[in-house]
Amino acid sequence: MARRLQLQAELEELLGSRDVYFQPPESKKLVYPCIIYNKTNIASNKADNKNYINTDRYDVMFLGRDPDTDIPNKILEHFEYCNFSRRYVSDNIYHDVLSLYY
């Protein structure tokens, strides 16, 4: 859990606000721009029939009204094991989805 809280702090710093949510409930009123992230997988490296390194994978979604924001690029530059997955628009809110191993 401490590792996820460290990720939370780094995302808040990159966003420049505390509007970073880990698996928020549907009843949560979001403030834009914001980041939502969810744990989606655990990558395991094996040797001698044992797991020796487990790395959590997160889907990190940036939501905002500005189509030219640089926040997704800041996230990509900050984290070594991060890549851009897709972008879509819903209700005039831009959603940039990234995959992050942390």
**Overall number of domains in the chain:** 1
Helix (H), strand (E) at residue 85? strand 82-90
CATH of the domain at 29: 3.30.2000.30
Measured distance CA(30)–CA(101) in Å, rounded = 25
Token reading at 41: 């997988």
8 Å CB contact between 102 and 56:
yes
Residue 26 belongs to domain spanning: 2-101
Per-residue pLDDT of the chain (102 residues; tens, 9 = 90+): 799 999 999 999 999 999 999 999 889 999 999 999 999 999 888 888 888 889 999 999 999 999 999 999 999 999 999 999 999 999 999 999 999 999
Helices (H), the chain: 2-15, 71-78
Is 0.85 topped by the overall pTM?
A: yes
Question: Is the bond preceding residue 33 a cis peptide, omega within 30 degrees?
Answer: yes
